[in-house]
A and B are shown apart, each in its own frame.
Chain A
């Protein structure tokens, strides 16, 4: 009975793993094909079923009519994501700490309402803000620039940072702050000298979520940039709508998802230690 159960369990785990991994393996295999290999039907194993070619990978780094430049979109994506994440983390951590330690009151607005204002931004469908963002950025001349995108991405990422950090600070006992202040710290000093060094785990988790959502956003980058500041997801979709060279497409896709796929390893490590539990409630 127990044996059958174990076998069934592992079969299911392997089945799901295959489903998860298959698109990546397919992309890897396709990235080494040429036009002939692609149009002759689905094949999987290089050398055995088709003659591998590195054309797809070369085209990503060469310029000219055959080339697709991946370097510039990659740098753009990295810059926008990193800058917006860092700003969101700084602002979000401060706000979350304030909300978890102090009482705010303005008329009928209380702490929980302010927290809700932050977190509820996740409900907002991007399309609702798309047109006003477009007109707003056009007005200040920030359309199709990195600065404009960073501004929009802060609105996207700040709620995530606040949400994760509020729960995290909730798990740090307030006595810690009080002790620091008895020792002569100002409230701001207590935060920077005592609380912040104890919050690395929470900040890492919040930072990872900012990176994931920033790096993977397509919609705003698609609407608010044209040719000067192209991000990775937009670049690959514009590639898709043209003649569709599957080999370049696949190589491009693999390069753009690899950096964050590595984040999965870090997330797993945190989860095993139970550090994520406090972040989700």
Chain B
């Protein structure tokens, strides 16, 4: 029995379910098989792949790396994005030009800009080391040392996605009510106190939303790593997505990579849910 309301919802719901659910169920089934490059097929081998996941140190290391990578980048993006949004929030000279400029990186294709960043970070021919040498800092092995590669990935991620934080936070600032500011001004609060007692609490819901969205996106990080460092040197910048890609689409261990990716997905959902709940409790003081 089709009512008008079904006309609205069903097309999208059925389309998405058809595109997503079949592959997802298929992945679940494959993860219990030994499908690999030598033999494709859905033979049932029980939980062997999952036992292998638990013993796979490289996978757990990549997860730890992803955690620190996303925590550092999202924190930097939030602080920088908030500062920039505050700077161009009120009337200021050249306000609109700055706003447009600050938005541009998030509109550009991550892999394409990573290709450019790769040339910029080139040890002997790139401008980064050239400029650093002008102030007397020796050639930094940006992409060939473990620490350098890690910092490079963080830098490119901050360059690319701070604008997203900036956009969400500025949109939040623009729609703030005026009254609390009048009250603060009457109380004689300075800019510092006004920020911590009025702006920051009022912005808490927007902040939580922005941080969670960025954490979700950061947990999938892969494009930048693929182009910039290919997970290297060694496995210094390898993220779970990239490791699963190597196992699944390079070594073609389809069964094992399915088990890896489902483990990854479940861990992501659990972690992100916990983080979201904690943020809600601390910043808004109520249950989600």
Contact = CB atoms under 8 A, between A and B. Distances in A.
A233 B227 CA distance: 11
Contacts of B265: 123-125, 128
B102 A20 contact: yes
Contact of A264 (B26, B107, B168, B206): B107
A272 B199 CA distance: 19
Contact of A126 (B175, B222, B258): B222
Contacts of A122: 213, 216-217
Specify which of B115, B118, B168 lies most central, judged by the most chain A CB atoms within 10 Å of its CB. Answer: B115
B119 interface: yes
A204 interface: no
Contact of B84 (A16, A126, A216, A219): A16
Contact of B108 (A19, A261, A268, A274): A261
Nearest to B205: A281
A132 B35 CA distance: 13
B137 interface: no
Interface residues of A, number: 90
B23 to A, nearest CB: 3
Contacts of A257: 107-109, 112-113
Contact of A91 (B15, B117, B119, B175): B15
A26 B13 contact: no
B5 A128 contact: no
A86 interface: no
B162 to A, nearest CB: 8
B172 A277 contact: yes
A131 B248 CA distance: 7
Given A127-B222, A158-B15, A236-B115, A274 B175 contact: yes
Interface string A190-222: 010000000000000000000010011011000
B206 A280 contact: yes
Contacts of A216: 107-110
A223 to B, nearest CB: 7
Closest 10 CB pairs of A and B: A98-B8, A132-B23, A277-B175, A95-B12, A42-B130, A102-B5, A98-B9, A91-B12, A264-B103, A187-B4
Interface of B: 4-9, 11-13, 15-16, 19-20, 22-24, 26-27, 30, 80, 83-84, 87-88, 92, 96, 98-113, 115-120, 124-127, 129-130, 159, 167-168, 170-172, 174-175, 205-206, 209-210, 213, 216-217, 219-220, 222-223, 226-227, 240-241, 244-245, 248-249, 254, 257-258, 261-262, 264-265, 268-269, 272
20 contacts: A23-B113, A23-B117, A23-B120, A41-B124, A122-B213, A127-B241, A130-B248, A131-B27, A135-B26, A188-B4, A218-B223, A240-B115, A261-B104, A264-B100, A267-B167, A268-B96, A271-B99, A271-B167, A276-B171, A280-B168
Given A125-B220, A280-B209, 19 more contacts: A12-B83, A12-B87, A20-B102, A23-B117, A26-B127, A42-B126, A42-B129, A98-B7, A129-B20, A158-B16, A212-B106, A216-B109, A218-B111, A237-B111, A264-B103, A268-B99, A271-B170, A276-B174, A281-B209
